[in-house]
Every structure is written in C-alpha cells, then in structure tokens.
Structure 1
C-alpha cells in the first residue's frame, strides 16, 4: 500500500480504494482531494466546478478575475480598446506565449478558439447571435465586433467555467482528445478515477500584475474522492494537503485537529433545483408553481447543513452586500404550503406521472435537500421518482432532457449575473420565456450600472413568477487544508500554483 508521502499515514483500506496505484509524491507535491473525476480537460464544454478547479492550472483565457472579481489581462497584453458605440473590442495579445506542445500563440489561435467557444460552449452560445465577427487584425491582435453592446463580454471571456479557453489552432475540433494549453502546469499523467498529476511547465510565460502565477510546487496531484467523509478522513490523516467540499458537520473535527484547519467561504453560493423546460411534466407552469409552493426551504437547508452558521434562508438571487441584491418576487419564496400545492396539482389536472428528481451524494447536501423535498412533494400529491447517481453520471444525464424533470446543483455567487447560464434559453434547462428574453437583452446591452440593477430586479421577479428555476437559499462552503499548506485561500475554484507545503 503506497502513500503519497513516506512520512504520512495511509488512509484506511476503504478510503484508499480511490487512490490505489498513484505514484509516490515528490517533496514539493500538493495533494488535493476533489469530489470526483473531471470527465473532460476541455473547460470550454463543461460548467462543472470540478473541471474548472483542475483545468485552470493548465488552460488559460484572454482575461481572468483578480481577488476582488475585477477583470484583468491574462493571455491578453492589456484591457481591450472599446469603441465609443460599444460594438468593437480590440484586444492586444501577449507576445512569446508558449503552448505546452512548444508552439507559440498568435492571433489565429485566439480567433479559432473564440469561434469554437461561440459554437460549443454554453456561455459562448448565449452571445453567439450578438457577435458579428472575430478577426485577426494583427499577428498579436484580435478584434471582436458585436451587433449590439454587450456589457458582460469581458466577464464571459474571463470565466474559467464554460471557458473561452485558448488552444493551438491545429488541435481545434468539436472534440479535443488531448488538450494543449498555455498554463503554469501541464498534464504529466492521468489514471482515471485515481489521480491527475500535473507538473510545472518550465517554458511558462508569466503574466504580470494580479494574474501572476508563481509555479511554486513542482507537482499538483488531484485525487477524485467521491465520498465526503473519506475526504475529511484523508485530510485529518495527513493524506491530503487540501480537501474540497467538506460536509458542514465535519467543521468541529477539522477545527480541533492538530494537522488541518477549516476554510469557510461566506457566503459561497446557492443550491438550486434546475427545471427541465424542454420537455416533461414541468413544461406546465402550474405544475412548476405546485413544486415551488410545496418546498420547505428552511427544512431543506437545515437538513443539508445542520447549523445555521452554514446557511441563510434567503430567496433573493444575491445576498446582502452584493450590487445585485433585490427583494423583487421573494414573497413567492419558501411558501411551504402543501394545501396550495395540492390545489395547483388539481388545477393542472395532474395524472400521477412521476416527477423525476436527479441528484448525487458526492455533494452530500444536494442529496439531503432532495430527501426533504421528496417528502414534501409527495405530501402535496406528487408521485416522486428520485434517482441518485454519481456526479459524473448526473452530469451526463442532465444533458438528456428525456431523463429528468429536476436536477439539483449549486453555483457560487458570481460578480456578473449573465455568467449564470440558467437564465438563458441556450442552457440545458432551456427556459425560454419571451418577457424574460426581452429583459435579458435589455440587461446585457445596458451599460449604466444603476439601470442594470433595476432591470435585474425585473429578471428576478420573473424567475419567481414563472418558476424558471428554484433557488433554495444561501450557503457557506467548507474546505479544509493542512496546517503545513500555505498560499491557498478559500475560493469557489481554489488555485494551487502559489501553494507550498512546509516539511
């Protein structure tokens, strides 16, 4: 039985089952327990957090976010020059940027990559009809021309989730089997469902300023550990330097440990019930309203997190302190009204067709919320069919609208609402409401911040009126790190290029 470090204690046999076969780690390796396998290394085609966490270390975008969520250049040499009418973005590119295959990035690579993003990525497709052209206007310059102003464009180009990733032009295809990036680390070895080993890219061209990436560890090893309690035990035993998405009830154990400490991100984000608007039961608005009326949000959150230190019963899309916070429509939140739900079922002529809920236990709080929801929905009169699968399977099945009516997921609070793909009809949920579409167009083309806030309040109102999706509340994220680990902070997508481990 191998351990990642000779000086560390191995996990129990059951816990070690997820990592058997991993090689011994070098002294400068950071070992990270994540919730499951990243089923693609192409972040352009995925919105999964686990994909973003892993791929941000070897794939890069033109822009990124700093610690305060401001957009800063990464592969771009500077912020773009934007025309007065807001229709043209001229982006200078850094020179001498090297891909992991040894080739040098130029404007042709960037143009081809952005065109692929507009065609394939969830977030790219959301603006594809507004992009008139993407052109190389110099060897190291790209110009994006729009049909109408689009205020969130730079945030979309900076996001590592459904990312506008830059690849060599030569590998661009609908499916990229071997991803080639420009990041500070590159893939050295991948044993599916066991580990992903990244090593320092020695020819990395370092950006300056807020985007700087120090390449401190020699190696970063991501280990998929689907069971949350196994992630806790691995952290406390010293097997892992960092563990993501820990159950709230493990906080006291981690806090009292001599070898580990908790990292709490408050507020982190919001769990949601994503609704299938493409086909099935919930294409009927009255049935959606019945689900909304039946759900006991406070009970669901308590079951999921156990301690109100870790959650807030809040129906607003953004919490207090955020620019986008508004109470519009929140009178429809947390109704917990079984009588109303039953009446809505009768009004809709509900015939007992099972309501299919898709969830996973890799995010244990998803499953616990689903259990409470099932009881409430059945009490209201729904026949509920709950399917529990691993996260990778859920991620595949949610792309097939014939297999579910609700799937359970979550999102961090994002600085720009337009980064939330669920608002858009191009998302897998397919919520296409004419009034909402008009509001989204107004929101994304408006550049005045105060006017955008007013429009967003109208968008939140229609989310609740039409039951576009169901926000359950706010929650705080618990992660854990070794006391010997430095250079890593609590974050939605933790980064390890500046991490070091004291021996």
Structure 2
C-alpha cells in the first residue's frame, strides 16, 4: 500500500471555511484539534530526524523503553529484563498482549528487524551494533543481545527520546531498506493513522487505538501508562501565525503546540488563552555542508562560525528575553555535561579575525546557500539574520526560502548548491536531545554515515566510543568536554544559544499535558469551554 506524499496546498481559506469543515465532525466524538509545530510530509521516523516526524511516530508506534519526566529510562513494551554482571549479555521479555493495529501480535522478530533498521541510520544505534556480537530471539516474546565488549548504555539507546527513536514496527515494514521510506503506517501505539486520514498541507487525523493496553504506571514524560481520553486528535496545518491565533481564539482549534513570538504578547494577556510550559528549552544550531565549497575548507568554516552573534540572532527570532539565552556550549546550558571550555568559539562576533580567515581560505565569491523554512515560525528569522552577518565578513550569501518539509528533503542532498544542494541550515533541538553526547544526533564525524553535513572527524567517533565504554561520571564529564572542543574546532555544528516557546490552549478546556520533549496527546482531557 503506497503512501503518496504529494502536498495538498491549503488555499488561503477563511476561518469561516475552516469552521464549516470542522462542523462535519460527528458530535458524539471528543475531538482535540491542534496546530503542530510544522507540516507533516515525511512519515518514516527512521528516515528523517525531523521533530514533527518523531512526534508522529510517538502517536502510532511504541518503544521498548521510554524516558520519564525526570530523565530516567523505564520499561515500556518490555515487561522484564536482565543484564549479566559484565554487561555483555542482556535479556528482554515483551509484556503480554502487545498487538499491532492490524491485530497481529508483536513478536521478538518484529523487534529484531525494527532495531536493525534503526541502527543503520541512528548514530547511537550504530555504536551499539558495532559493539554487539549478536541479537537473537528467545521464543516469540523474548530476545537477547550479546556484546563483544561491555556496552553500558543499552537502555539509553533503546529508550532514547530524540530522533531517531527506535520505534517498533511489523517485521515486513522494518525489512524496508534503511535508505528507502516505509509505505505502511502500522504500529502498536495508542493512536492509529489510516491512509485516508493523512493529508499533507491540510490535516492529519489520529484515532484512538481502542485495542491498546497501557502500562499500569501513571504517565510520566514518555513513559508509563499511555491512556487516551479523546476519540481523535487532528493536526491542523495553519501556517500563518495570525491565522493560528485567530483559530485558537475562535475555538476552531484547541491548542497551538508552540506560540510564535509574534503572538506571545497578545496571548499572554487574553483571558481566553492559557500558556503552558510543556517542552523544555533547547538549542538552535547551524549545520554546515562539509562536502562542498566553501565549508569544506576549515578556514572558511571557522570564519562563518566567528560571524555568529548569538544575542542578535536570538533577539530577532525569539524576541522576548525570558525565552532565550546565549550559550556557547554545544550541550544545553545547566545540563550535566555543559562546559564553558569552548576554545575560539564564544557566540559573539569576531569580524576582523573572520575576514582574515576568509581571505586566507581563497574563497572564490560563489553564493553560500542558506536554507530558510518560511513555514516554521520558530526558525524562520534566524537564517536571514545569519545571512547578514556572513555578508559583513565577506561571504556572498543566497538565503533561499522554502518550506520545512522541502528543507528536510533537500538537506539529504550532497550536490553542489547550484545543483539543488545547500551550504548551511539552522535547526532546533529539544533540551533532552542536547544534554548528552550519545543521544545528540548531529555529533557525528563518520562522513556519509553520519548526520547531514557529513563531517569526517575520526577523533570525535573515537571519543564517543570511549564515552560509551566508561560508567565513571567524572571520566564521562571530561570526555564530554573533549567532544565539545573537537566538535567546535572542526565546525561539526555551531551553537546559536537556547530558546523556548510555550504551548497555548483554550483556557479551561485542556488538562493533562505532560512535561516532555514533545507535546503528547495521551493523558490529555478535553472539556467544554467555560461560559463567558
């Protein structure tokens, strides 16, 4: 069953037309309508690290383990597990009654196939499989991992919350080659998604999985009992921030996952709206294409990093000082591995040194293509400001506006910019994502096997392996600092500081939102709006 992802563009429809469409919903159902952070066009959560696709995965798939609100990894699909004294043999048993949406039971063969596909694309998964000797079924509901050397972060890998998440799929789906997108949307999670309910550019309709059996523990973060209290959740794709605000005020949607900075002032003073802190702060980063000029030249790359002005860029994007913080560390400031040992990189512009380095690089003046996602209000100011800063250094800059879904597809291209490739793009990471070197997707130095930008930094990969091999916290902190210094020195990424945005709901109608790296829709209740 092929899923055709051709976008259905929503005409600049009036809110009244939107309301007429909503009125067709059966009144007997409890329907929660929300505006997600961006449009969903790629539905394979192992094929892309886009947060919107990860969030889609959280709706329809389940995981072996999951991270709770305090950052502790807890069993999810797993009923019980054990590890040998030397951490070389790990045994797992699935909890009983797990079923996919098509009614088939979840088996150890599904798990093994799903993990194998995930590990081909995920950086932590790659490390785990490098250390692994074998993974084998132990009956229909059990499996065993045997490692060549101790691998102390098995649970961190299986319960990682950030893209790429090791979601469990049916074996026939997981057998899809890792470089090809899946064409079935069958999971075992708390919601289902049918082909006819997926309308890119318009809406995505998730229906309650009535056969799902939640864990008995209370919900906490991504862990615990995923109890669904609504009949369906509709992701409504509204691009314009003012249209989003009007739809929320008029009751045509119940939530905005993230409040654009342009709407913050009006919403915080409106008695119909409640702003909720759900997702923690996270860092913005610049990713550079190391395969093509000019950033395949270390001096040009360093010049681009020295042009960064975190304060100016964050102020333009986030606006309100309460919601942003400059920070030169690659890790979330205040987190366990954050360090002020950042070498030449300060997050403050050093134009004179940057101009000197750019001249020494032999830069030929060809346009540097920076991708700007016009439909992502949480990101779309940063590329333009960065473009102006690069011009002050001497780069010829071409800021190209696209939509986020196209950016996600285009960033996978290794072509020259004039042939559809790119030089730089800016993205945002959840705070949990950026708190440890083993779960932070862009910290790769293994070239084509790594994250977009494809830097080749063997020293980085060796340090990550060393980090994984030790359980000593002091040693881990020292290694994490070394990783930071290598990442910045080689321009693997450039931190732009941290930002956050509240979630907006209609006051008195939505309860049960869980603090988490993503807005979650289990545990959430919707009640009628209070009388004015």
* CA pair 259-330 structure 1, distance change in 2 beyond 3 A: farther
Give the equivalent residue in structure 2 for 1:3: none
**Match of residue 439, structure 1, among 459, 463, 475:** 463
Counting only pairs closer than 5 Å after superposition, residues 250-261 of structure 1 correspond to structure 2 as: 250-261=263-274
Give the equivalent residue in structure 2 for 1:471: 495
- Take 2:216 and 2:18, find their aligned partners in 1: how far apart are those partners? 38
- Take 1:233 and 1:71, find their aligned partners in 2: how far apart are those partners? 39
Give the equivalent residue in structure 2 for 1:278: 291
SS in 2 for 1:89: strand
In the alignment, structure 1 residue 116 sits paired with structure 2 residue 140: no
Give the equivalent residue in structure 1 for 2:101: 100
Give the equivalent residue in structure 2 for 1:500: 525
Give the equivalent residue in structure 2 for 1:348: 361
Alignment check: 8 A CA contact 2:109 2:171 kept: yes
Give the equivalent residue in structure 2 for 1:192: 200
Give the equivalent residue in structure 2 for 1:70: 72
Q: Which moved more, 1:123-132 or 1:44-53?
A: 123-132
Give the equivalent residue in structure 2 for 1:242: 255
Counting only pairs closer than 5 Å after superposition, residues 29-40 of structure 1 correspond to structure 2 as: 29-40=31-42
Gaps of 5+ in 1: 1-10
Q: Which moved more, 1:45-54 or 1:100-109?
A: 45-54
Give the equivalent residue in structure 2 for 1:410: 428
Q: Which moved more, 1:148-157 or 1:436-445?
A: 148-157
- Take 1:346 and 1:296, find their aligned partners in 2: how far apart are those partners? 20
Alignment check: 8 A CA contact 2:355 2:394 kept: yes
- Take 1:248 and 1:499, find their aligned partners in 2: how far apart are those partners? 25
**Match of residue 391, structure 2, among 347, 354, 378:** 378
Alignment check: 8 A CA contact 1:269 1:476 kept: yes
Alignment check: 8 A CA contact 2:48 2:408 kept: no
Runs of 4+ aligned residues of structure 1 deviating over 6 Å after TM superposition are 16-20
- Cα distance, 1:44 vs structure 2: 2.1
* CA pair 187-365 structure 1, distance change in 2 beyond 3 A: closer
Q: Which moved more, 1:40-49 or 1:104-113?
A: 40-49
* CA pair 46-120 structure 1, distance change in 2 beyond 3 A: same
- Take 2:490 and 2:18, find their aligned partners in 1: how far apart are those partners? 43
Give the equivalent residue in structure 2 for 1:6: none
SS in 1 for 2:500: strand
Alignment check: 8 A CA contact 1:215 1:498 kept: yes
In the alignment, structure 1 residue 182 sits paired with structure 2 residue 195: no
- Take 1:195 and 1:267, find their aligned partners in 2: how far apart are those partners? 26
SS in 2 for 1:367: coil
1:41-96 alpha-carbon deviations (Å, 9 max, x no partner):
33222211111222212101111111112111111113x31222222221121122
- Cα distance, 1:122 vs structure 2: 5.6
In the alignment, structure 1 residue 392 sits paired with structure 2 residue 405: yes
Alignment check: 8 A CA contact 1:360 1:366 kept: yes
Gaps of 5+ in 2: 1-10, 416-420
- Take 2:413 and 2:13, find their aligned partners in 1: how far apart are those partners? 36
TM-score using structure 1 length: 0.92
- Cα distance, 1:20 vs structure 2: 8.1
In the alignment, structure 1 residue 456 sits paired with structure 2 residue 480: yes
1:109-141 alpha-carbon deviations (Å, 9 max, x no partner):
111111222234565345433333221022221
Counting only pairs closer than 5 Å after superposition, residues 21-420 of structure 1 correspond to structure 2 as: 23-24=24-25, 26=27, 27-78=29-80, 80-121=81-122, 123-125=124-126, 127-160=128-161, 161-172=163-174, 173-174=176-177, 175-188=181-194, 189-209=197-217, 210=219, 211-264=224-277, 267-329=280-342, 331-402=344-415, 403-414=421-432, 415-420=435-440
- Take 1:287 and 1:462, find their aligned partners in 2: how far apart are those partners? 17
TM-score using structure 2 length: 0.87
Give the equivalent residue in structure 1 for 2:6: none
SS in 2 for 1:481: strand
- Take 2:458 and 2:441, find their aligned partners in 1: how far apart are those partners? 17
- Take 1:387 and 1:240, find their aligned partners in 2: how far apart are those partners? 31
SS in 2 for 1:77: strand
Q: Which moved more, 1:64-73 or 1:331-340?
A: 331-340
- Take 1:162 and 1:16, find their aligned partners in 2: how far apart are those partners? 39
- Cα distance, 1:267 vs structure 2: 4.6
Alignment check: 8 A CA contact 2:189 2:209 kept: yes
* CA pair 290-478 structure 1, distance change in 2 beyond 3 A: same
Alignment check: 8 A CA contact 2:92 2:142 kept: yes
- Take 1:286 and 1:419, find their aligned partners in 2: how far apart are those partners? 29
1:432-456 alpha-carbon deviations (Å, 9 max, x no partner):
2122222111112222122111100
- Take 1:150 and 1:234, find their aligned partners in 2: how far apart are those partners? 50
- Cα distance, 1:34 vs structure 2: 1.0
- Take 1:476 and 1:47, find their aligned partners in 2: how far apart are those partners? 19
* CA pair 226-445 structure 1, distance change in 2 beyond 3 A: farther
SS in 1 for 2:503: strand
- Take 1:186 and 1:393, find their aligned partners in 2: how far apart are those partners? 26
Question: May I ask how many residue pairs the two structures share in their alignment?
Answer: 492
- Take 2:240 and 2:126, find their aligned partners in 1: how far apart are those partners? 34
- Take 2:166 and 2:271, find their aligned partners in 1: how far apart are those partners? 41
Q: Which moved more, 1:421-430 or 1:123-132?
A: 123-132
- Take 1:103 and 1:346, find their aligned partners in 2: how far apart are those partners? 63
